[in-house]
A and B are shown apart, each in its own frame.
Chain A
Amino acid sequence: MHPCLTFCALTAVLLAVRPLQAQQSTPAVDSAVHVLSRLAYGPLPGQVDRVAQEGAWHWIDRQLRPEDIDNRILEHRESQFSVLDYSRDDLAGAFLAFQRQRRERQRAMAQRGDSATSRDQGRRMSSSGRELRQLRGQVGQLVVVRASTSNRQLEEVMIDFWANHFNVYFAKGLDRVLLPHYIEETIRPNAMGRFEDLLRATARDPAMLFYLDNMQSVAPGARPPGLDRRLMRMSRNAQRGAASVDSMRRRIEARIPKGLNENYARELLELHTVGVDAGYTQEDVIDVARILTGWSISRRDDRVRFQFNEWAHDRDEKTVLGYRFPPGKNQDEGERLLTMLANHPATMHHVSGKLCTRFVSDTPAPGCVDAAVSAWRRTDGDIRMVLRAIFSAPDFWAAAHRGTKVKTPLEFTVSAVRSVGATPRDGPGMSRVVAKLGQPLYLEAAPTGYPETQEYWVNSGALLNRMNVAMALASNKLPGITVDLDAVVPASDDIDALIDAVDDRILAGQMTQRTREVIRRELEDVADPADRRMLAVGLAIGGPEFQRQ
């Protein structure tokens, strides 16, 4: 028997028994809609009623303890993503070997005098190159699958929040292979833990050290031990002619880090911790960079690891935000710096403000931020307790803030997928949809990560694309996903019953009277019930109500 038959019959019975309009504006239902829109990637079919029955706060409490929520369905889905079976060493090794092969091929070509175009090189890409590309392609899709499938919805929302807060660009050199591990081992396990642990984990993750260049920040004048001896040996043993040795020497010299690099230090203050308004100066930035000289990466035997290079460390005295760091220290002063920054009042305000922007409003009310800060202070930055304080703040529940935030492309796509109860497949289809809407996952080049506020996401091209995605989803034409509308909104000859069902299932009862009238008018000249349903669902998902959460 087709599985849909029972399921659809059941849905039909439920819809028939339940008077749709009557249920829609009880406070319990409204609260359920609100928490499922903000703390989750939108409701699944029927979930609003379940959460309303359970009680929104009960649901929040469970979401704050993700480890107690059964997630076997997601775990099964994750097992289809082979990229998760590769360790950082596997990926880095494959990448570095691939690069070496390419260099050797180029050298061979140069000796033959070939002049290959880049297209030829693409055609000759080795199988290891293709495999790497395929593995990297899984990473974005995994985000969509987890966000739409996980029962630990709040945790997934927080993972997205932190991955943006501590942004790493998935297309910068070695980060092409370091990012998956960064997400799995540094961001995900710490997303609901203590802020200080999360900060410390990002600070020493090779992906971050590479992305913001701290790996090449050294005390001015410092040179790696043994380098000069190696260069001398090279000149002595010159077999390939003086010109070629000269060119190699120059390349080596050009690659050696030549002093402070302030990039990470600046973003650590401005974005990750105290924020741009904390009143620090350029001298503070420089001293943060000096404290972190030597925090680098070892690539020995293709194994990429955090490594502290003592030779590169600046051992003089420094001062940051009035805190004195005495001379003669090594890696320990960097650890002390991170502790100080993680627990600085400005950090509490800055990060709490971002959390309130995410969960409450694009322009968060001070009351919400204050509540979060005092929880932070009380619990030494326990992220769950900070979140609980935000969800307890009157601002979070205020009518003026409900249904007002514009969804990001990821939120739009995943909430659309969830609203029709569909399951994305493991191919890259849905992450390409998110990219098409303007948010290629882990591919924001700026260290700010993707912004949370509407002015970044609402523009003509993107809005039209959302409408197209909505229609494609409703007509089951999106790549990488199968939609079975029968399971959600049964086709009906009765236009009003159909619109009621769409309002209830897709828009969680938020459909305005005007939208109802417009959809009704558009459905009237469509004869086929399946076409009519497709149009109604597509218009609802592409329409204005569904763009907000």
Chain B
Amino acid sequence: MISRRFFLRSGTLALASFGLDPLFLDRAAYAITPLRTSAGGKTLVCLFQRGAVDGLNMVVPHGDSAYYRDRPRIAVPRQSVVDLDGHFGLHPELAALKPLWDNRSLAVVHAVGSPDTTRSHFDAQDYMETGTPGVKSTTDGWLNRYCQHNHEHQETPFRAVAFGPQLPRIMGGTAPSLAIDDLKAFGLQAGRPETRDKLTRAFESLYQGSATGMLASTSEESFEAVRMLEEVNPAQYRPAAGVEYPRGNFGQSLMQIAQLIKANMGLEVAFADIGGWDTHVNQGAADGQLANRLREFGQGMAAFSSDLGERMADVVVLTMSEFGRTVRENGNRGTDHGHATAMMVMGGSVDGGRVYGRWPGLDEANLHQGRDLAVTTDFRDLFGEVLLGHLGAADLGPIFPGYQLDRRRFTGVIR
């Protein structure tokens, strides 16, 4: 295990001979250098569109005539599309992202997806989060495995943070990771600040005194995290001038991610999700149901980028969704579960202003099972490319087990 190797490398080999249990050693390796990191660490932010976004109406292939033929009632009209390259264009409600495309910090990968053909949201999300399509019993997520196997990063309790009430599959595993619903509520809760301080001090002394093994090292991380957050004071956060995040959980999560990045808390991988993409009925075209979701999504990403300003040089935002939707509209002016979709990649290391991935076309002969956009980029190739190119992952093998990653299949989206 690389964590063990790192531990040995950091010159504390002597401990191992005391016969401490190996799990403690693994975790002890995580507990080093609990100091504030300097600016300049890289961050990857993954945004999951749960429910299978219609990639064809998000990044519209308006140059493909089959698109208009198959979607008589829900296609985004050519005059409404925000054109990108003459063939693809953004949904008009994503117009806030156009300036990022123009300054080449936003790219799109189209026709990306899973080699597994399941049409179950549950299974497909599971596969995308574990990074092992077709294998259900994988216990950890690929973002967690990245943390397990890449120890060059300075360790802080905020290295891997998912926003939401529970830790999602993608971040579950043996490397420490936090699920945070609200930064303001992290730590001991009490009505008065004095009570809170007293409780924090009391529990910290209890664990310092009597905890052993993993409880000891983890509690140390916990109280370090509480102290770091106290200094940052999340309740007082104001985004950069003129930046307004969309109301709702998604905007709040993005704002708190920006806050952690700006405070140099050592955030390396962050995760947030947004639902409402399962548009079987009345999905709408230039406006309507899907348009409303895309507005929130696009405004959130644009606000995040403006809020971070120059810090975006060290950040990449990667969007994902479990699968795409049928090319043809259904009888309810909606779309059903399909196969490939589009993903967006935004940030400093992105070679933006381009749509990546081979476009398989929408002619019936080229469709997956005669109905869906075919997958030409395996999502693991994109995720792996981002881990390698942006975060500098040392070895992708253990992060995507059972898959031979090959740089020649990388799209080129990361500079």
Measured CB to CB, the residues of A under 8 A from B are 106-107, 109-110, 113-118, 169, 171-173, 212-213, 243-244, 247-248, 250-251, 254, 263, 266-267, 270-271, 276, 362-363, 406, 435-436, 438, 440, 445-448, 451, 453-456, 458-461, 463-464, 467-468, 471, 512, 514-515, 517-519, 521-522, 535, 539, 542-545, 547-548
A248 contact set on B, CB distance < 8 A: 331
Partner of A254, one of B119, B187, B221: B119
Interface centre among B120, B138, B330 (most CB of A within 10 A): B330
The interface residues of chain A lying within 8 Å CB-to-CB of B167 are 438, 461
Shortest Cβ distance from B53 into chain A, in angstroms? 14
Residue pair B122, A445 in contact (C-beta under 8 Å): yes
Q: Nearest-CB distance from B68 to chain A (Å)? A: 16
Would you give the shortest CB distance from A102 to chain B, in whole angstroms? 10
- Give the residue of B136, B198, B210 whose beta carbon is less than 8 angstroms from that of A446: B136
Residue B80 CB within 8 A of the other chain: no
Verify B186–A464 contact, CB threshold 8 A. Answer: yes
Evaluate whether A455 and B214 lie within 8 angstroms (CB atoms) in the complex, with A446-B136, A461-B179, A464-B188 already known: yes
Besides A447-B137, A539-B202, 18 more A-B contacts (Cβ < 8 Å) are A106-B280, A106-B281, A106-B282, A109-B281, A115-B284, A115-B289, A116-B289, A117-B289, A212-B136, A267-B136, A448-B139, A459-B218, A460-B218, A464-B186, A464-B187, A468-B189, A518-B202, A535-B202
CB pair A544–B178 under 8 Å, yes or no, is no
A172, A446, A458, most chain B CB atoms within 10 A:
A458
Contact indicator A512/B209 (Cβ below 8 Å): yes
Whether the Cβ atoms of B206 and A110 lie closer than 8 Å is: no
Q: Is B6 an interface residue (CB 8 A)?
A: no
Interface positions of B (Cβ within 8 A of A): 21, 23, 26-27, 119-120, 122-123, 126, 130, 136-139, 157, 165-167, 169, 172, 174, 176-180, 186-190, 198-199, 201-203, 205-207, 209-216, 218-219, 221-222, 225-226, 275-276, 280-282, 284, 288-289, 292, 328, 330-334, 336, 369, 371
Q: In angstroms, how far is the closest chain A Cβ from the Cβ of B149?
A: 15
B123 to chain A, nearest CB (A): 8
* In the complex, chain A residues whose CB is within 8 Å of the CB of B276: 117-118
For B27, B210, B289, the residue with the greatest tally of chain A CB atoms inside 10 Å of its CB is B210
Alpha-carbon gap, A172 to B172, bound state (A): 19
Give A471 to B199 CA distance when docked, in angstroms. Answer: 9
22 pairs across A/B with beta carbons < 8 Å? A106-B282, A107-B332, A110-B332, A115-B284, A117-B292, A247-B331, A271-B137, A445-B126, A446-B139, A447-B136, A447-B137, A454-B23, A459-B178, A460-B221, A461-B186, A463-B215, A464-B188, A464-B222, A467-B188, A514-B206, A519-B202, A547-B215
Given A247-B330, A451-B139, the answer on whether A543 and B174 have CB atoms closer than 8 Å is no
Q: How far is B120's CA from A464's CA once the two chains are assembled, in angstroms?
A: 35
Please name all residues of chain B whose beta carbon is closer than 8 Å to the beta carbon of A467 when the two chains form the complex: 188, 199, 203
Query: For residue B189, which residues in chain A have a CB less than 8 angstroms away from its CB?
Result: 468, 471
Of B137, B176, B190, B369, the contact of A459 (CB 8 Å cutoff): B176
* Cα distance, A45 to B169, chains bound together (Å): 38
Q: Which residues of B contact A270 (CB under 8 A)?
A: 137
Contact of A110 among B221, B222, B334 (CB under 8 A): B334
B218 in contact with A458 (CB, 8 Å) = yes
Q: How many interface contacts (CB-CB < 8 Å) are there between A and B?
A: 176
Docked pose: A316 CA to B214 CA in angstroms = 52
Residues from chain A with a CB closer than 8 A to the CB of B280 are 106
B289's closest neighbor in chain A, by CB?
A115
Q: Can you name the residue of chain A whose Cβ is closest to the Cβ of B185? A: A468
Instruction: Give A543 to B187 CA distance when docked, in angstroms.
Output: 15
Interchain residue pairs A-B with the least CB separation, the first 7: A514-B209, A544-B211, A110-B332, A460-B222, A106-B281, A115-B288, A543-B206
Residues of B within 8 A of A518 (CB): 202, 205-206, 209
Which of A363, A458, A517, A521 is B215 in contact with, Cβ under 8 Å? A458
Q: State in angstroms the CA–CA spacing of A409 and B292 once bound together.
A: 38
Cross-chain contact A544 with B215 (CB below 8 angstroms): yes
A536→B179 CA distance, assembly (Å):
28
Q: How far is the CA of A270 from the CA of B201 in the complex (A)?
A: 46
- Contact call B178/A448, Cβ cutoff below 8 A: no
Please give, as numbers and ranges, the residues of chain B lying within 8 Å of A169 by CB-CB distance. Answer: 122
Given B138, B178, B203, B336, which contacts A542 in the complex, CB threshold below 8 Å?
Answer: B203
Q: Using Cβ atoms and an 8 Å threshold, which residues of chain A touch B210? A: 512, 514-515, 543-545
Of residues A243, A453, A468, which shows the largest number of chain B Cβ atoms within 10 Å of its Cβ?
A: A468
Question: By the criterion CB–CB under 8 Å, are A448 and B331 in contact?
Answer: no
Measured CA separation A251–B119 after assembly (Å): 12
Distance in Å: Cβ of B274 to nearest Cβ of chain A = 12
Complex contacts, A435 vs chain B, CB 8 Å: 165-166
Q: Choose among B21, B123, B137, B226 the residue that contacts A464 (Cβ–Cβ < 8 A).
A: B226
Measured CA separation A454–B211 after assembly (Å): 14
What are the residues of chain A within 8 A of B130 when measuring CB–CB?
446
Chain A contacts for B275, CB-based, 8 A: 118
- Give the Cβ gap from B206 to chain A, nearest Cβ, in Å: 4
Bound CA–CA A464/B130 (angstroms):
27
B222 near A522 with CB under 8 A, answer no
B188 x A254 contact (CB < 8 A) = no
Q: Is the CB of B222 within 8 A of A463?
A: yes
How long is the Cα–Cα vector from A363 to B275 in the complex, in angstroms? 40
Q: Are B174 and A110 in contact (CB under 8 A)?
A: no
* Contacting residues, chain A, for B284 (C-beta < 8 A): 115
Shortest distance between the CB of A171 and any CB in chain B (Å): 8
Given A468-B189, A471-B199, answer yes or no on A461-B215 (Cβ-Cβ < 8 Å). no
Q: Complex: how many Å from CA A213 to CA B136? A: 11
